[in-house]
Structure 1
Amino acid sequence: MNELESILHRQRWDVYDESSAGLAQNAMHSFAMDDTLCRIASSDPERGICRTWVHGNTIVLGIQDSRLPYIEEGVRFLEDAGYRVIVRNSGGLAVVLDPGVLNVSLIFKDEKRLSIDSGYEAMCAFVREWFKEFDLVIEDREIAASYCPGRYDLSVAGRKFAGISQRRLRGGVAVQIYLAVNGSGSERAGLIRSFYEQAVNGAPVKYSYPRIDPAQMASLSEITGRPLTVEGLYHSMLLTLKGFAGRLGNMALSEADWTVYEENLDRMIKRNEKVNLL
């Protein structure tokens, strides 16, 4: 079994679904929860954890974004547009979360034999299997004019609908993907482009922020021409995951796990306090 197969094929995949409950939660919860699940997954090499999550209108900034010269004006612009703003605890730049964006985290034990790229490649393979009914040619390459561009952007005919990130800590790996299921990809991109215009305002910056072309982003509904829903894709994802699992189950956290979660959430809160977003 090669690296990619060893990541996806598990004796057990446990599902922690927050695709509905997350709508009422601050998105800081999700980053704290994935860190908690990394610690849990680190103790069992045969087990994988799949967490699904959706949040209300939120912009998740990268650490570099939070240091832009006119960040206060940029945050005010987003808040006036009806979005909550937080800073993540991992790499990457600004992304949009809303009820039409489904996030999936595949979490498993870190092993020395697994390269960083193998985690990204496993998620790409998982998505292609998941969406094979749509008969799409899904490319994994950077879409430079998208928000939060990266080597493992997923696109069809040059229009990005998903981005992948990865976090490794406490002996666990969380490979995270955001999928624009429905809604307007170009409107989301236009919002982030306007944020950068407000937060930079012509001043010199210390990193290369993306020059966004809204036409290069789309939702999966726009790409396929189908009225897709988060709920529908969640159920098809479970069927896909079942094909990689000896057993598929639901997950619950222990009291000790919740204690670890509270510690992780406190760290997220303090991070956001440092950049004056709370």
Structure 2
Amino acid sequence: MSTIHDLLKPQTYRFIDQSNLGPGFSALQSFAMDDALSISVGERMSPTTARLWVHHNTIVLGIPDARLPYIQDGINFLKSQGYEVIVRNSGGLAVVLDEGVLNLSFIFPDSKQVNIHDGYDAMVTFIQYLFEDLTDQIKAYEITQSYCPGTYDLSIDGRKFAGISQRRVKNGSAVQIYLDVSGSGRERAALLKRFYEIGKREQDTRFTYPAIDPSVMASLNELLGVHLTVAEVRDRILIKIHELSDQIVTAPLEGEEIEWFNKRFEQMIKRNEKALENLEE
């Protein structure tokens, strides 16, 4: 266990499972939840927290995506394919969330003292640890022709199945990863490739949007030749965090945490309205 990052070995984990709340659970609520937990963990009101979440047919845009020259046409296309569209409050660009994509957030304390790269490194080592019985080939480097490319893309044989972002609030940090567990990574990538084609067209833009090649993306099932479900990966995560800590507690938001959540949720709604304020319904 020497390869496991120290951030992943607290005495106690708080475990919050929101992976089965259904289509009514909005991604706006999810990001507000991580903000509230970041404040709580940063204030030492809550131990280090692992939260699981799934959203049905949702495209999460980054702020630069909302500035595409033909963004309304792009959003109309995504909605025509049955997707809800929101703008997130953490870094990065558009990602696809659906029933085959499991999201994991680790909420760590002491963000003002801990290097931002430590949060990313911790998540990378955890995912390698999570699937160590299936592969030792998970690598972290940018897959430039994927959607939402970044330094901490996770891939096997050059095909990406996960991306990591991080958001710091007060003295806590939420390190978030999406894991394409099942379904077609190529189809998800093709959807966003078309979104950018429609939203950018041939216009020159100050920001460089990804030139997506769907063949560089895949789900874990496609890459490993297995039949994992989101529920099975959830169980794996619970087992691993139990191995890494002395105790796991399960507790919903309470007291001030609920107030922080409500405030952050309202901010997320306003942020989305502002980001898309010039667009027609």
CA distance in 2, matches of 1:188, 1:119: 27
CA distance in 2, matches of 1:59, 1:181: 17
Query: Which letter does structure 2 place at the counterpart of 1:153?
Result: D
Counterpart secondary structure, 1:23: coil
Alpha-carbon offset, residue 133 of structure 1: 1.1
CA distance in 2, matches of 1:194, 1:109: 39
The answer to whether the aligner puts 1:43 opposite 2:34 as a matched pair is no
Counterpart secondary structure, 1:251: coil
Q: Deviations over 1:67-107 (max 9, x none)?
A: 11000000000000100000001210000000000000000
Q: Where does residue 84 of structure 2 map in the other structure?
A: 84
CA distance in 2, matches of 1:28, 1:22: 14
| CA 246–261 in structure 1, closer or farther in 2 if over 3 Å, else same | same
Task: Judge which range, 129-138 or 229-238, deviates more.
Answer: 129-138
Q: Deviations over 1:181-220 (max 9, x none)?
A: 0000000000000000000011111111000000000000
CA distance in 1, matches of 2:147, 2:179: 13
CA distance in 2, matches of 1:162, 1:45: 30
- The aligned runs of 1:160-179 (5 Å cut-off) are 160-179=160-179
Q: Where does residue 30 of structure 2 map in the other structure?
A: 30
CA distance in 2, matches of 1:172, 1:216: 33
Counterpart secondary structure, 1:270: helix
Query: Which letter does structure 1 place at the counterpart of 2:224?
Result: T
Query: Which letter does structure 2 place at the counterpart of 1:97?
Result: L
Alpha-carbon offset, residue 22 of structure 1: 5.1
Q: Where does residue 101 of structure 1 map in the other structure?
A: 101
Alpha-carbon offset, residue 169 of structure 1: 1.1
CA distance in 1, matches of 2:30, 2:113: 28
RMSD, aligned CA: 1.8
CA distance in 2, matches of 1:78, 1:5: 38
Counterpart secondary structure, 1:10: coil
CA distance in 2, matches of 1:214, 1:41: 38
Which stretches in structure 2 are left out of the alignment for 5+ residues?
Answer: none
Q: Deviations over 1:47-66 (max 9, x none)?
A: 21000000010000000000
- The aligned runs of 1:188-203 (5 Å cut-off) are 188-203=188-203
Counterpart secondary structure, 1:211: coil
Task: Judge which range, 45-54 or 162-171, deviates more.
Answer: 45-54
Query: Which letter does structure 1 place at the counterpart of 2:171?
Result: G
Q: Is the 8 A contact 2:5 2:121 kept in 1?
A: no
Identity of aligned residues (%): 47
CA distance in 1, matches of 2:3, 2:62: 29
Query: Which letter does structure 1 place at the counterpart of 2:236?
Result: S
The answer to whether the aligner puts 1:253 opposite 2:253 as a matched pair is yes
Alpha-carbon offset, residue 25 of structure 1: 1.2
Q: Where does residue 73 of structure 1 map in the other structure?
A: 73
Counterpart secondary structure, 1:183: coil
CA distance in 1, matches of 2:262, 2:113: 31
Q: Where does residue 148 of structure 1 map in the other structure?
A: 148
Q: Is the 8 A contact 1:4 1:119 kept in 2?
A: no
CA distance in 2, matches of 1:44, 1:226: 40
Counterpart secondary structure, 1:173: strand
CA distance in 2, matches of 1:45, 1:210: 40
Q: Deviations over 1:10-60 (max 9, x none)?
A: 010010110001532111111110000001101229921000000010000
CA distance in 2, matches of 1:138, 1:231: 21
Length-normalised TM-score, structure 2: 0.95
CA distance in 2, matches of 1:248, 1:174: 18
CA distance in 1, matches of 2:40, 2:6: 19
Which runs of 4 or more aligned residues in structure 1 lie more than 6 Å from their structure 2 counterparts after TM superposition?
none
Counterpart secondary structure, 2:5: helix
Length-normalised TM-score, structure 1: 0.96
CA distance in 2, matches of 1:181, 1:57: 15
CA distance in 1, matches of 2:152, 2:45: 25
Q: Is the 8 A contact 2:140 2:152 kept in 1?
A: yes
Query: Which letter does structure 2 place at the counterpart of 1:137?
Result: Q
Q: Is the 8 A contact 1:142 1:153 kept in 2?
A: yes
Query: Which letter does structure 1 place at the counterpart of 2:184?
Result: S
Alpha-carbon offset, residue 259 of structure 1: 1.5
